[in-house]
Amino acid sequence: MWSGLMLRVLCAILMFGAWFNLGLVLARRLAFPYALEWMEGGMLQHVERLRQGLELYGAPNPDFTPFPYPPLFPLMASWLPGESWSFLGPRLLALVGHAGVCVCLWAIARQRGLASNARALGASVYAAGYAFSGGWYDVARADGWALFLSLAGVVFLWGKGGRGRAVAAGVLFLLAGLAKQIGWPLGILLSVAYSVERKPGARELWATWFVGAVGLYFWVPAVLGERAYFYIFEVLSGHEVALDGPALGAKFVVLLPGWLLGLWLVVRACKARESAPMWVALFVGWGLVTLMGVVHLGAYDNVYLPALVAAAFAAMMGLGLAERWYGRNGVATRVVLGLVVMQLAALTYDRRPWIPTDGYRARMECVEEEIAASSEPMFAPGHGYLLERHGLASGFHWMALFDLSATGDGQVGVQLVERVRDRLEAGDYPRALCDRSADGLDLSGWLEGFYGKRRVLELPEGEGGMPLPPSGAPWFASEILTEPVGGG
């Protein structure tokens, strides 16, 4: 009895700590005026492009090459009121998506009749996973919305059933994929499971899939650009498949308590023949889309978000059902509670690496001052959002092109690099500003053939990288160079 009480107290402390830690980090990051992650600036360019009525998925060109993602997140962000070229609105929108994941976990627990402590547990495990996810909850990216909309579909399918709820679930699954590609395989697996269970509305669910897919097939390129499916599907399909075993193993160890609970729940459901297809589809789906992300983009922690949702779901359902089956103080319940505590403890993190440093702010202020003082077009890879914030041409959307040339259509990437070279030789960019970064994208040597005298931009000393985990390479790790054309 006492060990059970101690475990519950420890669990409550860890749950409170997860929310307290997350709140402190969010308070320091949401309104930060510069990019928190290397694709955030590019996402801001997507948003402003839509606000200006320009197409999102046009032919690749040196001025703008979109990221290989569906359009829902930048579309929603473009509808938000607020100041142009501000990160606050898109970050809040991203945070709403992750908050929606927590709400859906609570709603599923409520549907299953779990006690209040179990309902709060799922959201708390997800909140504790902030650092595990790569600090993704407040970054202006679409992952949270894909997971939120998928879970919202589960809420409708696991309710009392019915044709209307099945149609609503189908719409939500379609929107989840429109947020990020992972939403579609998840939704299809869950729809198959719903059909196998022969619940009412299965035909309507698949009809919604069909009508919605046909509608999106024509609507997206017609409204957002004719090359939409090249970016959304072809570029990602060209990613090199490589499994980083050590990284995957390290991440899996962190989530091992939650996934052990998930395995136990699936086995119990199969033995009892109670919603077994849905249980299997949930964990197979979350595992599948995580693995798909790992083999293509294993270096980015956000690919593990579906696995984190699975661990949060398993902890919540495992504790709630164990209390129902074995009582609050049963031996099996204590074992489950011990695994829950282990999961929360494994996700505990030091918040300091995730808070933007004064050095990073000072460095970016220097960069922005240099850009704001310029009256001429600049070649500034990685700083397109700052250029456009101050009314200068965006120059070169380097990171999107890097993705395109390295992992998508390589020939298109080579042609674009040649077009940029032609512009540089023609003197279209009288000035250049680039970073000698620590991640292999140092362009200063490449630019020496186009620019003469080199001037080092004076930057404050000290740590100045983006807020990243200790293993991450800071984006602004060394000096930034400004190179005017000519020898004088």
What CA–CA distance (Å, rounded) separates 436 from 194? 52
Q: Count of residues for the chain? A: 488
Write the burial class of residue 307 (CB in 10 Å: 0-12 exposed, 13-18 middle, 19+ buried). buried
Contact (Cβ atoms closer than 8 angstroms) between residue 174 and residue 150 = no
- Crossing angle (nearest 10°) for helices 183-196 and 143-157: 10
What CA–CA distance (Å, rounded) separates 255 from 262? 11
CB 271: neighbour CB atoms within 10 A? Answer: 9
What CA–CA distance (Å, rounded) separates 418 from 407? 18
Find the distance separating the first CA and the last CA of the chain, reported in whole Å.
81
pLDDT (0 to 100) of residue 261? 95
Strands ordered across the beta sheet of 480-482 = 378-379, 431-435, 480-482, 455-457
The CA distances from residue 379 to 287, 370, 420, 423, 461, in Å, are 42, 13, 10, 10, 25
CB 266: neighbour CB atoms within 10 A? Answer: 17
The CA distances from residue 133 to 85, 227, 349, 422, 468, in Å, are 26, 31, 11, 40, 11
pLDDT (0 to 100) of residue 469? 47
Give CA 43 to chain center in angstroms. Answer: 12
Contact (Cβ atoms closer than 8 angstroms) between residue 347 and residue 18 = yes
pLDDT (0 to 100) of residue 383? 79
The one-letter amino acid code at 12 reads A
Residue 265: closest CA among 144, 122, 116: 122
Query: pLDDT tens, position by position, for the chain (488 residues)?
Result: 457 889 999 999 999 999 999 999 999 999 999 988 878 888 998 999 999 999 999 887 777 888 889 999 999 999 999 888 899 999 999 999 999 999 999 999 999 999 999 999 999 999 999 999 989 999 999 999 999 999 999 999 987 768 899 999 999 999 999 999 999 999 999 999 999 988 889 999 999 999 999 999 999 999 999 889 888 887 776 666 666 667 778 888 999 999 999 999 999 888 877 778 899 999 999 999 998 888 765 568 889 999 999 999 999 999 999 999 999 989 999 999 999 999 999 999 988 889 988 888 888 888 888 888 888 888 777 778 888 888 876 555 555 555 555 444 556 666 777 777 787 777 777 777 776 554 444 565 666 666 665 565 666 655 555 665 443 334 443 445 555 544 33
Place of tokens 């933007």: 356
Instruction: Give the start-to-end residue ranges of the domains of the chain.
Output: 2-30+68-353, 357-482
Plot region of 133 (φ>0 → left; ψ -120 to 50 → alpha; else → beta): alpha
> What is residue 431's DSSP assignment?
E
